[in-house]
Amino acid sequence: MKAIVVREFGGPEVLRVEEVSDPRPGRGEVLVRVRAIGVNPVDTYIRSGAYGIKPTLPYTPGSDAAGEVESVGEGVTKVRPSDRVYVYRSLTGAYAEKALCTEAQVHALAKNVSYAQGAALGVPYVTAYRAMFHKANAQPGETVLIHGASGGVGVAAVQMARAAGLIVVGTASTDKGKEMVAREGAHRVVDHSAADAQEQLMKLTGGRGFDIIVEMLANKNLAKDLTMLVIKGRVVVVGSRGAVEINPRDVMARDAVVYGMTSFNISDHDLASIHAALVAGLENGALRPVVGQELPLKDAPRSHQAVMEPGAYGKIVLIP
């Protein structure tokens, strides 16, 4: 099979297609014929070698994919060959024609969801659910700001928050992105690149502020976020690409809470619960991953440049 193999950490050019032998499922394992692969910002951090998690070289990147089950090992009861599945993490890496997974790493993909959409699920939807419900404990009727709503995690968070009965404000920096965020469920949308974005956001809440802020770029926004919370408001830091100076008084004065999170810390028990919610949300149509761009697997280097560029529109997926 063809797979992207990284033999040294570095720029996007280290993502090279190679011919490798097909994996074979052992006991409790599932071999998935991959039809689409989700590209996440974290894939680029890991590839660069500058991230906290460094795989042993050589490695095949990626945690998110969708396809059909090709074969199963002894003892597997959850899926059967030809079942449609999405994959969140695998034993051999997602940027490939086939991915070897444990039984727990594959999840049913509803018929109404395309493979490209299935590949958009893993990291973004798991993260959005974790942030919204396990961290912020979002409640119907609350007002949430999805700060960075046009990308993979943001779209997921908008759809979940809307389906759960929250008042949803999202941000994006392009007209296309703003339109999509509104279409996917945000009641109001603001351009986070506008000089008066903070004033616009506060005005939308009638000056009250937000119960919850899901933050995609904390190094830029956290200090301001802390001034936009109601008493007992919560910020969940999902993304950050640098340091930021905050005024702790803004937290004190509001009895506020700042949560950090990384999907790598989610327990198996919590993950199983999150996937159960995602499978149900796909079935009932509340969750509808948005695919903005499809590229062939050989263009993985281009996908790593694109995912770091501004002007997000849902997910970038690779087609093997």
Cβ distance 64 to 87 under 8 Å?
yes
Q: How buried is 239 (Cβ within 10 angstroms: 0-12 exposed, 13-18 middle, 19+ buried)?
A: buried
Cβ distance 126 to 88 under 8 Å?
yes
Q: How far is CA 282 from the centre of its chain?
A: 15
Q: Which is nearer to ligand NAP, 220 or 234 (CB)?
A: 220
Cis preceding-peptide flag for 58 (omega within 30 of 0): yes
Question: CA-to-CA distance for 278 and 281, rounded, in angstroms?
Answer: 5
For residue 178 the two structure tokens come to 């703003």
Q: Which is nearer to ligand NAP, 61 or 152 (CB)?
A: 152
Report the nearest approach of ligand NAP to the CB of residue 122 (Å).
10
Report the nearest approach of ligand NAP to the CB of residue 35 (Å).
21
Question: CA-to-CA distance for 144 and 156, rounded, in angstroms?
Answer: 13
Q: Closest Cα to residue 47, out of 82, 84, 7, 19?
A: 7
Report the nearest approach of ligand NAP to the CB of residue 249 (Å).
23
Q: Closest Cα to residue 293, out of 277, 278, 267, 311?
A: 311
Report the nearest approach of ligand NAP to the CB of residue 170 (Å).
9
Report the nearest approach of ligand NAP to the CB of residue 10 (Å).
19
Q: Which is nearer to ligand NAP, 25 or 239 (CB)?
A: 239
CA torsion sign, 92 to 94 to 97 to 101?
A: positive
Report the nearest approach of ligand NAP to the CB of residue 224 (Å).
10
CA torsion sign, 293 to 216 to 175 to 212?
A: positive
Q: Which is nearer to ligand NAP, 72 or 228 (CB)?
A: 228
Report the nearest approach of ligand NAP to the CB of residue 2 (Å).
25
Q: Which is nearer to ligand NAP, 102 or 174 (CB)?
A: 174
Q: Which is nearer to ligand NAP, 71 or 240 (CB)?
A: 240
Q: Which is nearer to ligand NAP, 194 or 272 (CB)?
A: 194
Question: CA-to-CA distance for 114 and 127, rounded, in angstroms?
Answer: 21
Question: CA-to-CA distance for 163 and 144, rounded, in angstroms?
Answer: 13
Residue number with the smallest Cβ distance to ligand NAP: 151
Q: Closest Cα to residue 278, out of 64, 66, 128?
A: 128
Residues that bind ligand NAP (CB under 6 A): 40-42, 123-124, 127, 147-154, 171-174, 177, 192, 216-217, 220-221, 238-239, 261-263, 307, 310-312
Q: Which is nearer to ligand NAP, 79 or 214 (CB)?
A: 214
Report the nearest approach of ligand NAP to the CB of residue 234 (Å).
15
